[in-house]
């Protein structure tokens, strides 16, 4: 039976289900162009990313691939040029200055790579954790110590930054980021200045925040071992998400990490550079649909016209 005109009108009025639905973090076709002295740099070139509430996700990629740009957008520090960026239902492109301030104070917590940037050196660890609560006007007695304890740095409560190791400072920084009970923690190469053993403790602290407080955690890192420690690793190349590694437990309890290429909504896919090089693929490939997979071949030699 044909639909009636009013049924069609009702259907047209219904908004199409948005990309990412009600996921905690949704980036849809995100673009960020920097203009400096007449030169344009496209740092994000239509990046898609969906992260659910309570996920612990690592973002990896070469230097210059757009990782920090992405985190700056998600933290509300930077506004993208185009696309959609939505966190906890809030639209990061159109939010008012007042909402942005509230967002940065209470919805999201941020940890920088440079340990010195995360803490005020003239305050003790405990005072550093109390500061964001005081700024938000919601001091909570005992909260700072609780957080320092959870992250294994209670012994640093009375110390200032020069009296703490780099790893201790970063764990205190996580406590600062958690002070106002954010829904989301973002960390940009939090272990970039640390050795591997200390890095492990910082990752442990982030995992603890995720598991015990239910906070969504997104970590940018170039530590290749991190994908063994998180549920999902998203690879970024040239300002786009290009691969995902999913970690799961096998039948015998062993950890299996499987890498996938990311397919965007219109069907675009990035082939790994080394695969393309191995078969000298350039510009054009031939595709063939098989019953359970798609074959990709280098283009045939073009017959010359003369």
Ligand X SMILES: Nc1ncnc2c1ncn2[C@@H]1O[C@H](COP(=O)(O)OP(=O)(O)O)[C@@H](O)[C@H]1O
Residue span binding ligand X (CB under 6 A) among the ranges 21-29, 33-41, 198-206, 282-290: 33-41
Instruction: Choose among Mg ion, ligand X, none what residue 191 binds, the Cβ cut-off being 5 to 8 Å by kind.
Output: none
Residue 17 near residue 53 (C-beta atoms within 8 A): no
43, 58, 65, 68: residue in contact with Mg ion (rule CB under 5 A): 68
The residue (of 68 and 118) whose beta carbon lies closer to Mg ion is 68
Phi, psi of 217 (to 5 degrees): -125, 130
In the chain, where does DSSP find H-type helix?
5-13, 67-74, 97-102, 115-118, 125-135, 143-150, 166-178, 196-213, 273-278
| Unique residue bearing structure tokens 């939010």 | 95
Instruction: Choose among Mg ion, ligand X, none what residue 36 binds, the Cβ cut-off being 5 to 8 Å by kind.
Output: ligand X
- How far apart are alpha carbons 295 and 290 in whole angstroms? 7
105: left (phi over 0), alpha (psi -120 to 50) or beta: alpha
240 interacts with ligand X by CB under 6 A: no
**Residue 15 corresponds to which tokens in the numbers above?**
């908004």
Binding mask 210-239 for ligand X (x = CB under 6 A): ------------------------------
Instruction: Choose among ligand X, Mg ion, none what residue 65 binds, the Cβ cut-off being 5 to 8 Å by kind.
Output: ligand X
Residue 59 pairs with which residues in a beta bridge?
220, 234
For the chain, the maximum distance between any two Cα atoms, rounded to a whole number of angstroms, is 85
The residue (of 160 and 222) whose beta carbon lies closer to ligand X is 222
67 interacts with ligand X by CB under 6 A: yes
Rule CB under 6 A: which of 74-103 touch ligand X? Answer: none
27, 43, 85, 151: residue in contact with ligand X (rule CB under 6 A): 43
8, 18, 41, 77: residue in contact with ligand X (rule CB under 6 A): 41
Residue ranges in contact with ligand X by CB under 6 A: 34, 36, 41, 43, 61, 63-69
């Amino acid at each position: 039976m044909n639909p009636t005109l009013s049924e069609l009108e009702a259907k047209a009025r219904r908004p199409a289900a948005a990309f990412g639905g009600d996921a905690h973090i949704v980036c849809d076709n995100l673009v960020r162009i920097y203009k400096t002295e007449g030169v344009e740099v496209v740092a994000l070139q239509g990046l898609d990313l969906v992260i659910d509430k309570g996920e612990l996700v690592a973002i990896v990629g070469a230097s210059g691939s757009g990782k920090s740009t992405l985190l700056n957008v998600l933290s509300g520090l930077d506004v993208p040029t185009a696309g959609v960026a939505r966190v906890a239902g809030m639209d990061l492109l159109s939010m008012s200055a007042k909402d942005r301030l509230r967002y940065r104070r209470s919805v999201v917590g941020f940890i920088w790579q440079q340990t010195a940037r995360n803490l005020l050196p003239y305050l003790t660890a405990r005072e550093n954790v109390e500061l964001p609560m005081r700024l938000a006007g919601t001091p909570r007695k005992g909260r700072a110590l609780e957080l320092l304890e959870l992250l294994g740095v209670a012994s640093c409560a009375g110390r200032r930054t020069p009296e703490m190791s780099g790893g201790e400072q970063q764990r205190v920084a996580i406590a600062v980021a958690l002070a106002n009970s954010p829904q989301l923690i973002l960390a940009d190469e939090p272990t970039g200045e640390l050795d591997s053993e200390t890095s492990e403790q910082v990752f442990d602290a982030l995992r603890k925040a995720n598991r015990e407080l239910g906070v969504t955690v997104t970590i940018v890192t170039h530590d290749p071992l991190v994908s063994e420690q998180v549920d999902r690793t998203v690879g970024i190349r040239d300002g786009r998400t290009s691969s995902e590694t999913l970690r799961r437990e096998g039948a015998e309890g062993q950890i299996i990490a499987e890498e996938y290429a990311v397919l965007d909504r219109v069907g675009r896919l990035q082939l790994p550079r080394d695969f393309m090089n191995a078969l000298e693929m350039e510009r054009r490939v031939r595709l063939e649909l098989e019953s359970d997979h798609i074959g990709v071949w280098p283009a045939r030699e073009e017959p010359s016209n003369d």
